[in-house]
């Protein structure tokens, strides 16, 4: 019988702990802390994400029930609601944000050869944001509407493997287009955005960095046509034009030609108008690229359903950001585990298996190899006769 470390401990071994200790030292996370160090804090919060714990009391009760195994899980301090609450409020959230950036680098390397929905030898990113609702009476700092609180998670998603490469957590009032000021476009990469990011000055900065963008035009978009390319209307492409902006301020912000593609979506029975600065790809490929942007919507739906970023374990801004960043780190850890161990199951299935097996002392691969089992029913024997 295997008597080694727990599955949770084996999972934590895939983390670059040396880099985590450097992050802790940089922001003095363990300054004047005798018990419940940052490593224990991260492990406990990651455990809460993996096992779907909903409250401080829930975490405390679950871990105290397994107290003999905590040391073997790498948790060397007593876990209490007070310790965990204080850590969420006082430990600098930048420790976990910077550590997540290191995991992003590793995940990007592992998923560099993943196939795209479009046959394109370039990096493709989808940019969007999701709103996380908060109770305004409990989170007064997160004012979004008159009677509503929220924070926004702005995400730049690499479509090769659905890896978030950039995340910005802001208040709910920050407009989506302002996040473009925080990005450094990579030359040759494609950035897919909806109409909320249509700002010609910022789009021209992407073009100046020799990167490409694909977005949608607004209804009041005015232009002058310079050239029209022949198109095959049976594919849904109505027109493929080279245009110049007509209004004074947009033309001043973007003084060069744009490509305008009008497309009819038969499935949704709608007409879409795309704008891009790429004049080389076929028009149908541009439309397929924008369709691939839907991946980021699925990513937001997935993390809201399977990670704990709706019920928060603290009411301060630091506690909220800490929990979100540790949730993202947990997502990246599971994605890294899937690639390193060549696990064929989906991320959802991996999370479900981990949620019920973290305390098991068995090789981690064995837990995933035996997940799809069937119970064999022994053949029914004939009943013995009492009387002959």
DSSP string of 245-312? Answer: E-SHHHHHH--S-EEEEEEEETTTTEEEEEEES--SS-HHHHHHHHHTTHHHHHHHHHHHHHSS-SS-
Average pLDDT, the chain: 89
Of the candidates 92, 50, 7, 9, the residue with the CA atom closest to the CA atom of residue 308:
50
> Is the distance from CB of 156 to CB of 125 less than 8 angstroms?
yes
**pLDDT single digits (tens) 255-271:** 999 999 999 988 888 99
Residue 283, pLDDT above cutoff 90? yes
Least confident of 73-77, 169-173, 227-231, 371-375: 371-375
Can you give the pLDDT at residue 381?
Answer: 52
C-alpha to C-alpha distance for 164 and 335, rounded to whole angstroms: 11
Q: How far is CA 343 from the centre of its chain?
A: 20
Residue 123, pLDDT above cutoff 50? yes
Residue 372, pLDDT above cutoff 70? no
What is the arithmetic mean of pLDDT over 332-343?
Answer: 93
* Three-class SS state of 25: helix
Give the other-Cβ count within 10 Å of 64's Cβ: 12
Can you give the pLDDT at residue 375?
Answer: 47
In whole angstroms, how far apart are CA 176 and each of 96, 153, 337? 24, 10, 32
Whole-number CA gyration radius for the chain = 26
List all residues 6 or more positions away from 115 whose beta carbon is below 8 Å from its beta carbon.
160
C-alpha to C-alpha distance for 271 and 48, rounded to whole angstroms: 45
Can you give the pLDDT at residue 370?
Answer: 62
Residue 67, pLDDT above cutoff 90? no
C-alpha to C-alpha distance for 43 and 369, rounded to whole angstroms: 25
Can you give the pLDDT at residue 22?
Answer: 96
Residue 107, pLDDT above cutoff 50? yes
Which pair of structure tokens corresponds to residue 259? 């490509």
List all residues 6 or more positions away from 349 whose beta carbon is below 8 Å from its beta carbon.
371
Q: What percent of the chain has pLDDT over 70?
A: 94
Residue 209, pLDDT above cutoff 80? yes
Can you give the pLDDT at residue 376?
Answer: 52
Q: Where are the alpha helices (DSSP H) in the chain?
A: 7-12, 17-26, 38-50, 56-65, 67-70, 81-90, 93-110, 200-208, 248-253, 283-291, 294-306, 317-340, 347-357, 364-369
Of the candidates 3, 8, 10, the residue with the CA atom closest to the CA atom of residue 63:
8
Q: Confidence band (pLDDT; 50, 70, 90) for 249? A: very high
Which pair of structure tokens corresponds to residue 121? 């030898």
Which pair of structure tokens corresponds to residue 213? 């963008």
Q: Confidence band (pLDDT; 50, 70, 90) for 229? A: very high
Per-residue DSSP letter, 370: T
Which pair of structure tokens corresponds to residue 157? 């998603």
Of the candidates 337, 335, 339, the residue with the CA atom closest to the CA atom of residue 307:
335
């Amino acid at each position: 019988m295997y008597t080694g470390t727990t599955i949770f401990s084996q999972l934590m071994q895939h983390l670059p702990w040396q880099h985590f200790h450097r992050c802790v030292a940089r922001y003095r996370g363990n300054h004047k802390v005798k018990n419940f160090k940052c490593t224990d804090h991260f492990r406990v919060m990651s455990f809460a994400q993996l096992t779907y714990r909903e409250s401080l009391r829930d975490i405390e009760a679950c871990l105290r029930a397994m107290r003999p195994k905590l040391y073997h899980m790498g948790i060397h301090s007593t876990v209490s609601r007070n310790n965990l609450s204080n850590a969420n409020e006082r430990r600098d959230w930048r420790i976990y944000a910077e550590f997540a950036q290191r995991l992003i680098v590793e995940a990007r390397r592992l998923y560099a050869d993943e196939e795209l929905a479009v046959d394109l030898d370039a990096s493709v990113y989808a940019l969007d944001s999701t709103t996380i609702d908060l109770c305004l009476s409990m989170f007064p700092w997160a004012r979004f509407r008159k009677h509503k609180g929220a924070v926004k998670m702005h995400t730049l998603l690499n479509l090769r493997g659905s890896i978030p490469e950039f995340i910005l957590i802001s208040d709910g009032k920050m407009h989506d287009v302002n996040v473009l000021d925080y990005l450094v476009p990579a030359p040759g990469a494609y950035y897919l955005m909806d109409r909320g990011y249509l700002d010609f000055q910022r789009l021209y900065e992407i073009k100046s960095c020799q990167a490409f963008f694909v977005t949608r035009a607004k209804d009041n978009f005015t232009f002058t046509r310079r050239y029209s390319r022949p198109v095959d209307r049976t594919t849904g492409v109505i027109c493929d034009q080279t245009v110049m902006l007509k209004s004074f301020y947009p033309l001043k912000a973007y003084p060069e030609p744009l490509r305008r593609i009008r497309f009819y979506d038969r499935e949704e029975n709608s007409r879409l108008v795309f704008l891009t600065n790429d004049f080389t790809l076929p028009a149908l490929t541009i439309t397929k690229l924008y369709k691939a942007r839907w991946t980021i919507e699925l990513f937001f739906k997935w993390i809201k359903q399977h990670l704990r970023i709706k019920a928060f374990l603290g009411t301060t801004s630091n506690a909220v950001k800490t929990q979100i960043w540790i949730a993202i780190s947990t997502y990246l850890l599971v994605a890294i585990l899937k690639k390193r161990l060549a696990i064929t199951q989906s991320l959802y299935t991996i999370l479900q298996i981990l949620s019920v097996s973290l305390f098991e002392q068995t090789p981690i691969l064995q837990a995933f190899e035996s997940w799809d089992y069937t119970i064999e029913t022994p053949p029914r024997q004939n009943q013995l006769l009492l009387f002959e």
